[in-house]
Chains A and B, each alone.
Chain A
Amino acid sequence: MTYEPFAIGSSFRVVPPGSSPVPDRTDIVMARGAFGSGEHETTASCIAIMEALDLAGKRFLDLGSGTAILAVTAMKRGAAGGVCVDIESGAVQSAILNCQLNSIGDEIRHLCGTLADVDEGGFDIILANIYGDILLAVCDDLVARIRQGGLLLLSGILWEYNFDVRQKYERAGCEVIRNRLLDEFSTILLKKGA
């Protein structure tokens, strides 16, 4: 199934396989998936924030990776690699395919499971575009997985959870760098141990 390419952020474009490149946009090739194809406001919000971050050589954890669009974006921004984890096996298969379409190989490890199944820590950045109540539940474990000075980009947070998520992560030792309130969801960028 194909779809029309669309711009996302200020420098990226989400395109189906086989699309011709354009000069002013970096293509993120995505087979048609669900949620993470970029049309959702939270994905777009995350990518817009990632465009302003220095990700060169960084290692990331993408929790609830879905189609892996955020992981692919991180790689396009120069990240060294990371771990993608999703609880749904279909999403993991989609993530593997999308990484292949973007010429990403072993740099990314794909796991089907939860945060508890991730056996590493010390990440430079965590990408977590999942529901606010889940972010509240995994706060301590998630913050523990990131190095001092590392970043957490949390999104998919429904409006009503925004304050509670910010408060919990601040109490876990993080500082809110940005808090973007969208039509229905919100995106929070935090720094650990600032």
Chain B
Amino acid sequence: MTSPAVSILMAVRNEERYLPAALKSLQRQSQSEWELIVVDDGSTDGTADILTDCAGRDARIRPLLRPADGLVPALVAGMKNCRADLVARMDGDDVCHPRRLEKQHAFLQRHPEVSLVATNIRYFPAHIVRGGMRHYEQWQNSLTSHELILRDLFVESPFTQPSVMFRKSAVEAVGGYRNMGWGEDYDLWLRLAASGCRFARIPETLFFWREHGDRLTHTSDAFTLDAFRRCKAHYLKQGFLKGCATVTLWGVGMEGKAWRKVLNAVGIEVSRWIDIDPGKIGQTIHRTQVADPDSLRQGCGPMLITIGARGARSLVRAKCAELGLEEGTDYVCVT
């Protein structure tokens, strides 16, 4: 049996409400040479029936019905059954543009140096998507090149997982999906980046992310802010902060203090705070002095930008450039 052009990997649990829309959007794909490996993770509603019924009418849909075991085991089991070299992730509550698979497949065929290609995304329904999610959508869609993606890699997860298509071999080479107590998707992107994989984004809106209260990102402990920080700290310690016992944090607000705790937990102490607030400069916080940004010098040790205020990142980058600091060498933005 020949492999399809694309394997679509989906894991679902109790998705009867939105799954038909997701499946329909796949069946409308202009690239029809796909298989859908959809792992049902112990659904107790009509999800399994929907999958079985659809599979009976469309041989491309290949359900794996399993007892509830969690998202990561479901994805691991699903990946093993993906026959194509290219794997597109998809979720059971989202919708794809009909040319999504065609465009991603063609892109990866034309660019063998790229391991993962995302697309622009749009969250819906518009009236319930809050400001923060719109900001995240705009930020993600602004990461239009590998270099921009890497520059902001530790700010937030740069991809909406069900919108990506990747080379199965690249993901297998870094160990596939793992359960680390934080988002399995962000964990995978950081490992791919650390291994030197190249990323890309097709600057067209080909994926529609459905917002609703039951999303795993709203309900699972793996997607809390603290879990994200722990994930980032874990990989920073293997990369930018490798071998470092101390670090400078720019930003003494709630975010900075939360980062101090997370860094301490991985054995890294904050040796200096930087802040622009004149009320904080000169203070001692957690036995460490707060200094003015103008005190920064090239080569004075690694720094993380931990300012929580929206819009601050571009101002900090401009200041650092003025001071001769190089992003990725002297500092990394983690907010």
Which residues of chain B have C-beta atoms less than 8 A from A161's C-beta? 124-125
In residues 153-194 of chain A, which contact B (Cβ within 8 Å)? 158-161, 163-164, 167, 181, 184
Q: Interface extent on A, as a size class?
A: 10 to 19
Q: Which of B24, B98, B124 lies in contact with A133, CB distance below 8 A?
A: B124
A169 CB to closest chain B CB (Å) equals: 14
Q: State A161–B24 Cα separation when bound (angstroms).
A: 12
B185 CB to closest chain A CB (Å) equals: 21
| Contact B95 A181, beta carbon cutoff 8 Å | no
Q: State A158–B98 Cα separation when bound (angstroms).
A: 12
Given known pairs A164-B21, A181-B28, the reply for A159 and B208 (CB within 8 Å) is: yes
Q: Which of B28, B95, B127 lies in contact with A160, CB distance below 8 A?
A: B95
Q: How many cross-chain pairs have Cβ atoms below 8 Å apart between A and B?
A: 31
Which residues of chain A have C-beta atoms less than 8 A from B237's C-beta? none
A50 at the interface (CB under 8 A from B): no
* Main SS class of interface, A: helix
Q: Number of contacting residues on B, CB 8 A?
A: 16
Chain A residue, CB-CB nearest to B207: A160
B249 CB to closest chain A CB (Å) equals: 40
Proximity string of chain A (116-134) to chain B, C-beta cutoff 8 Å, 1 when within and 0 when not: 0000000000000001010
Q: State A131–B98 Cα separation when bound (angstroms).
A: 19
Most chain B CB within 10 A, of A131, A158, A167, is at: A158
| Contact A159 B95, beta carbon cutoff 8 Å | yes
| Contact A131 B126, beta carbon cutoff 8 Å | yes
Chain A residue, CB-CB nearest to B24: A163
B73 at the interface (CB under 8 A from A): no
Q: Which of A133, A163, A164, A184 lies in contact with B126, CB distance below 8 A?
A: A133
* Contact sample, A vs B, 27 pairs, CB 8 Å cutoff: A131-B126, A133-B124, A133-B125, A133-B126, A133-B127, A136-B125, A158-B122, A158-B124, A158-B208, A159-B95, A159-B97, A159-B98, A160-B95, A160-B122, A160-B124, A160-B208, A160-B210, A161-B124, A161-B125, A163-B20, A163-B24, A163-B25, A167-B20, A167-B21, A181-B28, A181-B98, A184-B205
New A-B pairs, 12, CB < 8 Å, besides A131-B126, A159-B98: A133-B124, A133-B127, A136-B125, A158-B122, A158-B208, A159-B208, A160-B95, A160-B122, A160-B208, A163-B21, A163-B24, A164-B21
**A binding-site residues for B, Cβ under 8 Å:** 131, 133, 136, 158-161, 163-164, 167, 181, 184
